[in-house]
């Protein structure tokens, strides 16, 4: 069936960096676009970034453009999110997700992704 597991979250000061990983197991996700979303307390889950199946195309939310970089290594079945110049407003639970239904590019809505990880907490202190 497949599983996605995020890691790499933690507590960091504003201006710092973190690298999140999303490891896939149980099936290959290399054929699918994959994404990062985040959800802060009291807020809806929001799109962060998406990467095409080969990694050639990437699309970012305006709020993270220029600070975050999405990448993937299909040989390792792993996707990454490098987060630089972190801000307190980046504090959230970060989720990775896969679009196994080949929605139009770029998929940015929650309902376009059908496989989700359990999330990893990122906290940025001011």
pLDDT of residue 28: 83
Question: What is the predicted pLDDT for the residue at 27?
Answer: 85
Residue 1's pLDDT is 80
**Each residue's pLDDT tens digit in the chain (126 positions)?**
889 999 999 999 999 999 999 999 988 899 999 999 999 999 999 999 999 999 999 999 999 999 999 999 999 999 999 999 999 999 999 999 999 999 999 999 999 999 999 999 999 999
Tell me, what's the pLDDT at 108?
Answer: 97
- Output the pLDDT for position 20: 98
Q: Are 8 and 21 in contact (CB under 8 A)?
A: yes
Res 39: pLDDT? 98
């Amino acid at each position: 069936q497949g599983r996605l597991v995020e890691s790499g979250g933690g507590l960091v000061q504003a201006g710092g960096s973190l690298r999140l990983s999303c490891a896939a197991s149980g099936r290959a996700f290399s054929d699918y676009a994959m994404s990062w979303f985040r959800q802060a307390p009291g807020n809806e889950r929001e799109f962060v970034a998406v990467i095409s199946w080969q990694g050639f195309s990437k699309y970012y939310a305006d709020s993270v453009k220029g600070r975050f970089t999405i990448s993937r290594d299909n040989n390792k079945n792993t996707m990454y999110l490098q987060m630089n110049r972190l801000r307190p407003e980046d504090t959230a639970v970060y989720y990775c997700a896969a679009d196994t239904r080949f929605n139009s590019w770029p998929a940015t809505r929650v309902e376009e992704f059908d496989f989700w990880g359990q999330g990893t907490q990122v906290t940025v202190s001011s």
